[in-house]
Amino acid sequence: MIGARARIGVVVPATNTASEHEFWPAVPAGVTLSFARAVSSGDPDPVRRLCAYREGALKGAVELAQVKPNLIVWACTSGSFIRGVGYDRELANAMGEAAQVPVLTTSTALITALKVLGVRRLAMGTPYPQDITDIERRFFEGSVLGLSVVNTAIIDIIDPYSRGLITPEQTDRLARRADVAEADAVLLSCTDLQSFVVIDALEQHLGKPVISSNLATLWAMFGTLHIAPRAAPGSLWKYAYAD
C-alpha cells in the first residue's frame, strides 16, 4: 500500500528545484513524499521576502494535512532562521497547530545535526547575500551552546530561483572556500543548493563532516520516523537523530 510505512509532507519555497531531486532517490519502499510550494511576496528586500514565506508555509502545511502525513517538513533554511533564535521552533509550532500534524524545519534539523556531531567551530558556505549569511551565523551561534562560526563564504545571489541553478561543481568550490583548518565541520546552507553528489568526496578531501541543508533535513525527517534511507551521502548517517 502507498505510504504503508510513512507519509511525509514537505513544504518548499515555490522556486526550489533541488530538494525533490535530492530527496527522492533516498526514499525507501513504503514511504511517500508529498510536496507543497510556498509562495512569498515580491518584495525586493530579501529579508522581508524571507519573512513573508511564513504565510505560504502555513498554507502549505494545511494543504499537505489532507494526505494524512505522519510528519510535515518546512524545507527552507533561511525561511526558518530569518527572524532569529527560536524562530524555527515557533514557526514549526504554528504550522503544526494549523495542520494538526507534527512539523520539523530545516534550521531545527541543522541545529540537531551540529549538536549530535559535537561541532564547536563551524565553517559555513551559503548562496545568500552577506547580510542574510550574517543573520544565519548569529542564529546558529545563538542556538548551539558554545558554537562559533569561524569562517563564511558566499555566492551572493538575491534572486531565489537562481540558487537552484548553482552547479554541484560550484557547490564543491563553495565548501572549499568556506573551510578553514580550525573548523570541525562545513555547513552548506540552503535547500535549493545541490549538494548530495559532492558531499562524500568533500568529506574525504577535507577530513571532516560536511552537512548540507537537504542532508540534515532528510536525516532528521527519516530519524524522526525511524526510517533508514535507501541511499544518501555523508557521515551524518553514522549518528542517530536525537532532537
* Cα–Cα distance, 88 to 186 (Å, whole number): 21
DSSP line for 1-27: -TTSSEEEEEEEETT--SHHHHHGGGP
pTM for the structure as a whole = 0.96
Q: Is residue 146 part of a domain?
A: yes
Give yes or no: residues 122 and 178 share one domain: yes
Return per-residue pLDDT of the chain as tens, 243 residues.
Answer: 678 899 999 999 999 999 999 999 999 999 999 999 999 888 889 999 999 999 999 999 999 999 999 999 999 999 999 999 999 999 999 999 999 999 999 999 999 999 999 999 999 999 999 999 999 999 999 999 999 999 999 999 988 899 999 999 999 999 999 999 999 999 999 999 999 999 999 999 999 999 999 999 999 999 999 999 999 999 999 999 987
* Cα–Cα distance, 213 to 227 (Å, whole number): 19
Q: Is residue 243 part of a domain?
A: no
Q: Is 35 exposed, middle or buried (0-12, 13-18, 19+ CB in 10 A)?
A: middle
Chain length of the chain: 243
Give yes or no: residues 115 and 195 share one domain: yes
Q: Give me the pLDDT at residue 10, please.
A: 98
Give yes or no: residues 115 and 104 share one domain: no
Q: Is residue 80 part of a domain?
A: yes
Question: Using the 8-state DSSP alphabet, how is residue 167 labeled?
Answer: -
Give yes or no: residues 14 and 35 share one domain: yes
Strand order in the sheet with 121-126: 148-154, 121-126, 185-188, 210-212
Give yes or no: residues 134 and 206 share one domain: yes
Q: Specify the number of domains making up the chain.
A: 2
Q: Is 207 left (phi over 0), alpha (psi -120 to 50) or beta?
A: left
Give yes or no: residues 84 and 121 share one domain: no
Contact 223, 70 (CB under 8 A): no
Give yes or no: residues 38 and 80 share one domain: yes
Domain span at residue 233 reads 6-108+215-238
Q: Is residue 1 part of a domain?
A: no
Q: Is residue 160 part of a domain?
A: yes
Which of 175, 137, 131 is CA-nearest to residue 156? 131
Give yes or no: residues 58 and 114 share one domain: no
Contact 105, 138 (CB under 8 A): no
Question: Using the 8-state DSSP alphabet, how is residue 185 labeled?
Answer: E
Give yes or no: residues 87 and 128 share one domain: no
Contact 101, 71 (CB under 8 A): yes
Give yes or no: residues 186 and 151 share one domain: yes
Q: Is residue 93 part of a domain?
A: yes
Q: What is the CATH number of the domain that holds 229?
A: 3.40.50.12500
Give yes or no: residues 10 and 81 share one domain: yes
Give yes or no: residues 147 and 67 share one domain: no
Within 8 A by CB and 6+ apart from 137, the residues are 124, 149, 152
